[in-house]
Amino acid sequence: MSSVIEQPRYSCALGAQQTVLAIPGAIPILHSGPGCTQKIHGALVTSSGHQGEGYAGGSHIPCTNSAEKEVVFGGEKRLSETIDGSLKVMKGDLFVVLTGCTSEIVGDDVQAVTLKYRKKGYPIINAETGGFKGTNYFGHEMVIQAIIKQFIGDAQPKVKKGLVNVFSVVPFQNQYWRGDLQEIKHLLNSIGLEVNILFGYESAGITEWKDIPNAEFNLILSPWLGLETAELLKNKYNTPYLHYPVIPVGAEATSKFLRKVGEFANVDKEKIESVISKEEKRFYKYFVGAADFFTEVKNGLPYELYTIADSTYALGASNFLINELGYVPKQAFITDNVPEKYTNKIKYEFEKIDEEYKDKVTFEIDGGKIEKKIRNDENTPRKTLILGSEWEDDLSFDIKAPLAYLSIPNTNNLILNKTYVGYNGGLRLIEDIYSIILSDRFFNERFVDREEKEIGDYC
């Protein structure tokens, strides 16, 4: 039985339009009803740090705007007209037709339509992303797999030593995706690997995607998303993969990550340790520089942690705050509608961070239920830190718990290339959390009564 979800943190499968837009040179064409693309843009672009339309995004996305006529008589002719117009007026290296609920319910043969254009030499594919099929996490993987099957095809691998394909955070769904992928590529480059990052400004676009079969291995940097794609590539091109479930945040986790990847790729250990030594030395100099601050105001700082985010960032950020900053787990709410077959593995990863997480990991997509559970919990003002989204603004204010944005929606910040990944990302997360704590909204009110009392005693 269907139900209403309060405070959603993802879109439907058609949100994969943003996955296409994250590939340099790729253009989505939607075969859907009117309004779908604009609503998705609002959810995954405006509400994800105002990331902008780009060349072919937002109101520029070609769409059939299927209406009553297409429902009654079919929309294949309308789709062909839209593709014709798109090919004439838009410059792209790859066109991806995405289906919405209307076209999939009607039963339009979109695959046959796109195949007709491919036979004429046009770089065009299709992915079945009807909104009722799942979330945009599902749509993201459907687009990737469609590109592999229909565009790359049965290429003969020419394996390049040290080349790795990275499958990790979901573009736009993760507001920090550009900076995250840039940092991941930088980290892997630093130990001598060549990287097909596939999405964002660091990607070479379609040439990288065509290079996928030539990789020495694939890296799945995510708790669960991308594993089906890794199996597809293993079966299709015989490419092995490394599954690393916890995205690295901070020095300890990043050094562990580099050692694991380096071992898998047979990178010289001395080279890896040289990189780690240099980065850790720099990281902990900054870390020690904040010691005076932590010592001076330690009694006013929160030390218990609520995490409300998708599994990728929830694991990475929680691991850093608990193991390097000494936070105590309060509860982790996982919001990315994780398939049931992966939930026990994610719980296990949390318990590896801290045994306190046993029975404290909840898979919940309803923000209203999450808020109710936290409000009903016992909270001491300024005892708790919340890693969440804009949905937690009122909750944060009411229980006087500082809030740092780890997930969407987030319309209060402009995001360009910010990241919490790696050595630099850990430092940025520290800065953001304690800048919020020091702000007037939280920090000053903690000491107002004490200051007034001291002034009164002095007078």
The string of pLDDT tens digits covering residues 55-103 is 999 889 999 987 777 676 668 999 999 999 999 999 999 999 999 988 8
Domain locations along the chain: 13-152, 163-284, 293-447
Q: Using CA atoms, how far apart are residues 396 and 384, in angstroms rounded to an integer?
A: 9
What are the tokens at 38? 């604009």
Note the Cα 271 to chain centre separation in Å: 30
The residue count of the chain comes to 459
Identify the burial level of 72 via C-beta atoms within 10 angstroms of its C-beta, where 0-12 means exposed, 13-18 middle and 19 or more buried: exposed
Residue 74 to residues 39, 96, 107, 109, 110, Cα–Cα distance (Å): 24, 20, 8, 9, 11
Angle, to 10 degrees, between the axis of helix 227-237 and the axis of helix 136-146?
Answer: 10
Give residues with Cβ within 8 angstroms of 340, minimum separation 6: none
The CATH number of domain 293-447 is 3.40.50.1980: yes
**Strand, coil or helix: what is 328?**
strand
Pick the CATH number of 163-284 from 3.30.540.10, 3.40.50.10440, 3.40.50.1980, 1.10.10.10: 3.40.50.1980
- Supply the pLDDT for residue 447: 41
**Of 420, 424, 427, 417, residue with least CA distance to 405:** 420
Residue 359 phi, psi dihedral angles, 5° rounding: 70, 15
Q: How far apart are CA 113 and CA 75, in angstroms?
A: 11
Decide whether 13-152 matches 163-284 in CATH topology: yes
Token digits of residue 149 = 């099957």
Counting beta carbons within 10 angstroms of the beta carbon of residue 395, is it exposed (0 to 12), middle (13 to 18) or buried (19 or more)? buried
376: helix, coil or strand? coil
> Which stretches of the chain drop beneath a pLDDT of 70?
1-2, 70, 72-74, 299, 378-382, 440-459
Cα–Cα separations (whole angstroms), residue 244 to 40, 167, 321, 418, 458: 30, 10, 19, 22, 59
Residue 43, token pair as written in the block: 């959810």
How much is the pLDDT for 104? 85
pLDDT of residue 222: 97
pLDDT of residue 446: 46
Tokens for 160? 């390049």
What's the confidence (pLDDT) of residue 295? 80
Structure confidence by residue, pLDDT tens digits, 387-414: 999 999 999 988 889 999 999 999 999 9
Q: Which of 305, 310, 301 is nearest to 320 (CA)?
A: 305
Residue 381 has a pLDDT of 60
Give pTM, 2 decimals. 0.92
Q: What is the pLDDT of residue 2?
A: 61
3-class SS at 28? Answer: strand
Contact between residue 92 and residue 56 where contact means Cβ atoms under 8 Å apart: yes
* CB-based contacts of 114, cutoff 8 Å, min separation 6: 83, 97, 124, 125, 126, 150
Quote the CATH superfamily of domain 13-152.
Answer: Nitrogenase molybdenum iron protein domain (3.40.50.1980)
Name the amino acid, one letter, at 57.
G
